[in-house]
Amino acid sequence: MQLTQQNSDIHAYLASSEAIDHWHPLVQETADTLWASTGDAYSYAEAAFELVRDTIPHSADSGDPRVTWRASDVLATRNGICYAKSHALVALLRAQGIPAGLCYQLLGEDDGSGLAIHGLVALRLPGREEWSRVDARGNKPGVDARFSLDREQLAFPVRPELGEIDYPGLYDAPHPATLKVLQESADRPELWRNLPTSL
């Protein structure tokens, strides 16, 4: 999919923020450990993706009621929904100088009901002109997201006939609608009731 940078400055996709706190010691330590075991940008990016996808359960799958939104908290608690897990992956990528941003889909149930925003990550490795989307949501029966730069394999294919949307925007910071609901929800049941239905 052709993504549109919402910020034309590539350096914005390397910046730290309160949500993407890649200056935090835990993020730095995790990034350094991963880099030591990989040694090149592609292998590192794949390892970071797999760490977030496989070792941090999506709280809807695990039943964890806690809501996280800072990348460092996601890594510390090993918990988060797609938005929070995306923050963690973006932080790990940026910690090693790999431009990364946030992008979104609108997804629903098989009958078209329950539409809500789903969070993804896009990255751009050195020497590449294109951004590649990946989905670190976490696999489960029926979901098989993988790290691939040339052929997307996301958790959920978009079904336009059901009103689902692939949003083309690539954001250097969490979209305000997603960050607000994470910050203002006391627990995951409240978060689930208030998931944004549009950007």
The pLDDT > 70 percentage for the chain reads: 100
Residue with tokens 């993020």: 27
Average pLDDT over residues 97-112: 96
pLDDT for 1 equals 81
User: Is 90 exceeded by the pLDDT of residue 167?
Assistant: yes
Segment 23-49, tens digit of pLDDT: 999 999 999 999 999 989 999 999 999
pLDDT for 23 equals 96
User: Where residue 150 falls among pLDDT bands split at 50, 70, 90?
Assistant: confident
CA angle 183, 9, 147 (to 5 degrees): 65
In degrees and rounded to multiples of 5, residue 44 shows phi and psi of -65, -45
Segment 110-147, tens digit of pLDDT: 998 999 999 999 999 999 989 999 999 999 998 999 99
Average pLDDT over residues 169-191: 97
- Look up residue 183 and give its two tokens: 């910050």
User: Is 90 exceeded by the pLDDT of residue 91?
Assistant: yes
Average pLDDT over residues 153-159: 95
User: Where residue 69 falls among pLDDT bands split at 50, 70, 90?
Assistant: very high
User: Is 90 exceeded by the pLDDT of residue 13?
Assistant: yes
Q: Which of 136, 7, 147 is nearest to 81 (CA)?
A: 136
Strand pairing report for 165-166 and 169-170:
unpaired
pLDDT for 39 equals 83
